[in-house]
Every structure is written in C-alpha cells, then in structure tokens.
Structure 1
Amino acid sequence: MELTDYIASNRAVAEAVCQRLAHEIDKLGLSATVTYPQYEGSSFELIKDPYTGQQNLCCYWFDQHKRHRLGRLQFNSDGSFYAEYDVSQPHPTKKKWFIESVTAWGQADNMKAEAKLLPMAQ
C-alpha cells in the first residue's frame, strides 16, 4: 500500500480521534486558548513497526507556522492507535496542576482519552 492509501483508510478513525481530543480540551475549559488537532493538513509518514515489520501510519500536528510539533497520532499494524496533543497550560481551575497534553488510545470501537496533568512547580 502507498502512503495515500494509509491516509485514506484511516481517515474515519483519525477524525474520530481528533474529535475526542477536542472534547478533552473542551472538558478542561480551554477551547478559547488551544487549537484543535485536525487530520486534514497533518504531516504524514510511514514508519516500520520494529516488532511486526509492517508499516504504521504516523500523523504529525504542527503549529500554524509549521515550526513546532504539537502532537502525533500513530496507527499501528494491529489496528490500535495512540495520539498525544500538547496543551502546555496551567489548569484553569486546579491551580496546583499543569496540563501537559491530552491523549487518546485504543481501537476504532474502543477509544479511551484523558488529560495528562503534572504537579505545578513550587
């Protein structure tokens, strides 16, 4: 399969992952200060799975100037995926916590997501 085939065959799940990450951002109350990940316009590449030897699709999200990577979504050859999207902001209501990122993982029919929080430096 070609890169364009991988991009097309993973589109529906990838868009659902982007929506789930956006939902996690919204739950944190950050929709006004954080851009949402979008499948369209991502940077794509195929990487070889060191365990299976098969190709995995990686999608990278960058800032509007394409200088800083904001996140990554990887589709594994076993049908699973993992996504992480940087938020890098203090938690709006929990003053002792910093939001590093939002993550999503699983498979198309069993998706999980959460925010990755770190204690704020004292």
Structure 2
Amino acid sequence: MVLSEQIKSNRNLGVSICRRLNEEIDKLGFAIAEIKHYPNYDHASFELIKDPYTGAHNLTCYWYDEFKKQRIGRLQFNSDGTFYAEYDVIKTHPGKSKWFVEGVIAWGKAENIKAEAKLLSMPTG
C-alpha cells in the first residue's frame, strides 16, 4: 500500500487517537494558553517505516515544533492493528508542583484506545 492510501485508511483512527491525547493533556489542568500545540492528524508528517520483525511497512506520523526543527510527537500504526503514540508536553504539572509532565502516550487498537500522562518527580534540592 502506498503512503497516500495508508494516510487515508488510518485517518479516522488517527483523529481518534489525537483526540484522546488531547483529552489527556486537558485533564492535567493547564491554563488554556499554556499549551500551544496539540497533536492533530492532519498536521503530521507521514512516512512508511519497515518493521524489522514483520517486514511490513507501518505508517508513522511525526509532529514537529513550530520551526519544524524538533520532533515533539510520534504515532505509529503497526501491521497487527495496534498503535503507539507519544506527544511531548514538557511542563511542570499545573496542580502538583512536585511533578513534571514529560508528555502523554496512547496505545492499543481502534476499539480500545488507552492513554496516560508520563510524569516524572521533580528533583529535590
């Protein structure tokens, strides 16, 4: 399957995954203007990446910062119907100052999208 067909065939699921990642970010309680970029399927850069285990070409989506220099997220659709996504937040938790929000992740299959925030404890001085 060519790249354009993969992008189109995965679009509905990709939009649902992005919505779920956005919900996880919003659940953290950041002020509206504090998060400048959210994952959006239609704003991703797309590539087909060969899976070394199965030999299949998996659609991989990348999100970049506003200058298109630093990658801030990734979504990979696997040939077995599963996916994995991660998106950087990189901010101190708005309600828990002892925690740092590295990002949000999502994984699963179309019928069961799971997601959570990736938190790190802040170093104590």
TM class by shorter chain equals over 0.9
Deviations 1:95-121 (A, max 9, x none): 110000100000000110000000102
**Which residue of 2 is the match for residue 5 of structure 1?**
5
- Cα deviation for residue 42 of structure 1 reads 0.8
Write 1 or 2 for the structure with the bigger share of helix: 2
Q: Aligned partners of 1:22, 1:116: CA distance in 2, in Å?
A: 14
User: What RMSD in Å do the two structures reach over aligned CA positions?
Assistant: 0.8
Amino acid at match of 1:32: A
1:9-88 alignment runs, 5 A limit: 9-30=9-30, 31-34=32-35, 35-88=37-90
Q: What is the TM-score when the length of structure 2 is the normalising length? A: 0.95
- Identical-residue share of aligned pairs (%): 61
Deviations 1:62-103 (A, max 9, x none): 112111111000000000000000000000111110000100
* CA positional deviation for 1:32: 2.5
The whole-number CA distance in structure 1 between the counterparts of 2:29 and 2:66 is: 22
* Number of equivalenced pairs: 122
Looking at structure 2, the residues matched to 41 and 25 of structure 1 have their Cα atoms a distance apart, in angstroms, of 18
